C-alpha cells in the first residue's frame, strides 16, 4: 500500500485533500493523471452498462433529495455502523472491525469486545450504533424542518425516478437505470487510502424485473460484474473472489447478496456488490410518498411492484484495485523498474513523444510535428525531452504509458521512428507514415 500511495502522490494520481492545511481524514483529490484514469474507468462502465444495452437508461440525480426519501429507504433509522470509543483518546472505531467479525449485532459485539482494548491500548466503551448520513440544512434557518442529507448512496435518485424514466422512455420490464455520482458517508474510521472514504463516488445500476425473473437476472448481473473487471479492466482473475453474504451481513430485505472481493494491499475486501433487493424500495417509496409505483403489465393488466437487482461499485475502490493489480516491480536486463501494466484503454497517456536530444532544432521540429499529429489522433499524448532516454522510458513506465515514440537522427534521413513497448520494452522501427496505424493497433489490446 505504501508503494501505491507514494506513486499516486509522486506522479499526480491522488492527493490528500486540503493537504497544505493538514488534510481531512477520508477525503482525497484526484490529480491530473488520476482524473484521466478515473474518467476512463467511468466511461468503460457507462459504455458497458448504458451504451451496450438497449434497455438501460442513464440518469444523473441530485445529491440532495427530499429528506423523506431517506426515511422510506430505511437510512434515517438504520444506516448505522456499530462503534466503540476509546475512553482516553476519544477516538472512535468500528466495533466489527475491532472484533474482526462481519456482524453488526450489538450483543454479539459486546461479548466479543469484553476484554478488548483500543488500538492505543486503552479501555473502550460498549458498542453503539452511529448513523453515517451527513446532514445539512436547506435555506437560511437551521432547524429540524430544514434538515437534509447528502445522499449516502446514489440509488435513491433512481427509485424516485422510476416512473419518470419508465414513462419518458416508454420502458417495459425488464429495464435498468444507471447512474454515476458522489455519495457521502460519515465513516467512523476512514482508512486504507481511498478504500474507505467519506466522500465517495459510486456506479450503480438498478434493474427492474418481474419477480419470477429474480434468480436468472441475479446470476446475469453477477457474471456481468466479474467479466467487466477481467475483460474491460484487465484485472487478473486470481485477484478476485466471490463472497456471499450470510444472514447476519445481509440487509433484512435483501434476498441474496454477493460481493466480488479484490485482493487489495490490505487484504481481500469488497469491491463490487450484486444484491437482490426484492420489491423493498419501490413498495416503501410508494408507501411514504403516497404515489402509485406499481407496474401494470401490458398483457393481462397484472399490477405489482417490480423486483430490483442492484449492481453497485465504488469508483475509488475500482481505481485502487486497478492500480494495485497493474503495479509491478521487475528486473529487466539487470535493471529494476516500476511499471503500471494498465490496459491501454485505461492508461492516462496513450503515447509519449521524445526527440532524442533537446538541443537539435531539426530533431525538435520533426518531433513536434509528429507530436501534433498523434495528439489530434489520440488526445492524451505527452511530450518528454527531459533527461536521458532510459530515464524517460522509466518515467512513462511508472504512469503506464503504453508506447513511447523516439525521434532520432536516422528519422531525419529515412523517415522512421522508434516505437518502444511498455510491457516488453522492445523497440521497433516504424515509418512515420505508418505510425498512427501501428499505434492504433497496439492500443486496441
Site residues for ligand ATP per CB under 6 A: 153, 185, 187, 196-197, 200, 202, 270-273, 312-314, 316-317
Query: Nearest-CB residue to ligand ATP?
Result: 314
> Which residue in 379, 376, 362 sits closest to 415, CA to CA?
362
| Closest approach of ligand ATP to the CB of residue 37, in Å | 16
| Closest approach of ligand ATP to the CB of residue 108, in Å | 17
C-beta of 318 vs 352, nearer to ligand ATP: 318
Question: Which own/partner pairs from 49-56 qualify as long-range (CB within 8 Å, at least 24 positions apart)?
Answer: 49/176, 49/178, 49/203, 49/205, 50/178, 53/176, 55/171, 55/174, 55/175, 55/176, 56/175, 56/176, 56/177, 56/178, 56/205, 56/207
Name residue 406's beta-bridge partners. 354, 418
C-beta of 202 vs 217, nearer to ligand ATP: 202
308 upstream amide cis, omega within 30 of 0: no
- The burial class, CB within 10 Å (0-12 / 13-18 / 19+), for 260 is buried
End-to-end CA distance of the chain: 28
C-beta of 205 vs 347, nearer to ligand ATP: 205
Asked if 82 contacts 129 with a C-beta cutoff of 8 angstroms, the reply is yes
Alpha-carbon distance of 7 to 339, in angstroms, equals: 11
Instruction: Please give the torsion angle defined by the CA atoms of residues 391, 393, 398 and 404, in that order, rounded to the nearest 10 degrees.
Output: 150
Residue with cell 424516485: 160
| Closest approach of ligand ATP to the CB of residue 19, in Å | 19
User: Please, which residues have CB within 8 angstroms of residue 372's CB and are 6 or more apart in sequence?
Assistant: none
| Closest approach of ligand ATP to the CB of residue 100, in Å | 14
C-beta of 148 vs 188, nearer to ligand ATP: 188
State the DSSP code for 228. Answer: I
| Closest approach of ligand ATP to the CB of residue 27, in Å | 11
User: Please, which residues have CB within 8 angstroms of residue 248's CB and are 6 or more apart in sequence?
Assistant: 102, 103, 104, 105
Backbone torsions φ then ψ of 308, nearest 5 degrees? -125, 125
| Closest approach of ligand ATP to the CB of residue 272, in Å | 6
C-beta of 184 vs 403, nearer to ligand ATP: 184
C-beta of 187 vs 281, nearer to ligand ATP: 187
SS3 assignment, position 246: coil
Alpha-carbon distance of 148 to 68, in angstroms, equals: 9
C-beta of 185 vs 350, nearer to ligand ATP: 185
| Closest approach of ligand ATP to the CB of residue 206, in Å | 12
> Which residue in 217, 179, 211, 213 sits closest to 279, CA to CA?
211
Residue with cell 477516538: 91
| Closest approach of ligand ATP to the CB of residue 196, in Å | 4
| Closest approach of ligand ATP to the CB of residue 115, in Å | 26
SS3 assignment, position 311: strand
C-beta of 314 vs 402, nearer to ligand ATP: 314
C-beta of 202 vs 214, nearer to ligand ATP: 202
C-beta of 36 vs 199, nearer to ligand ATP: 199
CB-side neighbour CA atoms (13 Å) of 197: 23
C-beta of 243 vs 375, nearer to ligand ATP: 243
| Closest approach of ligand ATP to the CB of residue 323, in Å | 14
C-beta of 195 vs 305, nearer to ligand ATP: 195
Name residue 148's beta-bridge partners. 136
User: Would you report the helix, strand and coil content of the chain in percent, each value rounded to 5?
Assistant: 35, 30, 35
| Closest approach of ligand ATP to the CB of residue 36, in Å | 20
| Closest approach of ligand ATP to the CB of residue 320, in Å | 9
Amino acid at each position: 500500500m505504501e508503494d501505491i500511495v507514494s506513486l499516486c502522490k509522486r506522479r499526480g494520481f491522488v492527493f490528500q485533500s486540503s493537504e497544505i492545511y493538514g488534510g481531512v481524514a477520508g477525503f482525497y483529490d484526484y490529480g491530473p493523471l488520476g482524473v484521466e484514469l478515473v474518467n476512463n474507468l467511468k466511461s468503460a462502465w457507462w459504455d458497458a452498462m448504458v451504451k451496450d444495452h438497449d434497455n438501460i437508461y442513464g440518469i444523473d440525480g441530485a445529491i440532495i433529495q427530499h429528506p423523506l426519501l431517506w426515511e422510506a429507504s430505511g437510512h434515517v433509522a438504520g444506516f448505522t455502523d456499530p462503534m466503540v470509543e476509546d475512553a482516553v483518546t476519544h477516538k472512535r472505531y468500528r466495533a466489527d472491525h475491532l472484533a474482526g467479525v462481519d456482524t453488526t449485532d450489538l450483543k454479539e459485539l459486546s461479548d466479543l469486545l469484553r476484554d478488548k482494548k483500543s488500538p492505543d491500548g486503552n479501555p473502550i466503551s460498549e458498542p453503539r450504533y452511529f448513523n453515517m448520513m451527513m446532514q445539512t440544512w436547506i435555506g437560511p434557518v437551521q432547524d429540524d424542518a430544514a434538515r437534509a442529507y447528502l445522499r449516502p448512496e446514489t440509488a435513491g435518485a433512481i427509485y424516485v425516478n422510476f416512473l419518470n424514466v419508465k414513462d419518458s422512455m416508454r420502458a417495459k420490464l425488464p429495464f435498468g437505470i444507471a447512474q454515476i455520482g458522489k455519495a457521502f458517508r460519515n465513516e467512523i474510521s476512514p482508512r486504507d487510502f481511498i478504500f474507505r472514504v467519506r466522500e465517495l463516488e459510486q456506479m450503480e445500476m438498478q434493474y427492474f424485473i418481474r419477480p419470477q425473473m429474480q434468480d436468472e437476472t441475479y446470476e446475469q448481473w453477477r457474471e456481468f460484474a466479474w467479466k467487466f473487471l477481467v475483460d474491460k479492466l484487465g484485472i487478473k482473475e486470481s485477484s478476485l473472489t466471490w463472497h456471499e453474504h450470510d444472514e447476519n451481513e445481509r440487509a433484512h430485505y435483501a434476498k441474496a447478496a454477493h460481493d466480488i472481493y479484490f485482493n487489495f494491499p490490505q487484504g481481500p475486501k469488497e469491491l463490487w456488490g450484486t444484491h437482490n433487493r426484492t420489491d423493498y424500495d419501490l413498495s416503501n417509496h410508494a408507501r411514504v410518498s403516497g404515489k402509485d409505483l406499481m407496474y401494470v403489465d401490458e398483457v393481462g393488466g397484472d399490477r405489482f411492484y417490480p423486483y430490483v437487482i442492484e449492481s453497485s461499485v465504488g469508483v475509488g475502490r475500482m481505481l485502487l484495485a486497478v492500480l494495485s493489480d497493474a503495479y509491478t516491480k521487475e528486473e529487466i536486463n539487470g535493471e529494476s523498474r516500476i511499471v503500471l501494466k494498465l490496459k491501454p484503454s485505461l492508461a492516462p497517456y496513450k503515447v509519449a513523444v521524445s526527440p532524442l536530444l533537446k538541443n537539435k532544432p531539426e530533431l525538435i521540429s520533426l518531433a513536434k510535428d509528429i507530436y501534433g499529429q498523434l495528439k489530434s489522433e489520440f488526445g492524451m499524448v505527452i511530450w518528454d525531452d527531459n533527461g536521458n532516454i532510459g530515464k524517460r522510458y522509466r518515467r512513462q513506465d511508472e504512469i503506464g504509458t503504453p508506447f513511447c515514440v523516439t525521434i532520432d537522427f536516422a528519422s531525419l534521413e529515412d523517415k522512421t521512428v522508434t516505437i518502444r513497448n511498455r510491457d516488453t520494452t522492445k523497440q521497433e522501427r516504424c515509418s512515420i507514415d505508418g505510425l498512427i496505424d501501428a499505434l492504433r493497433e497496439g492500443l486496441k489490446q
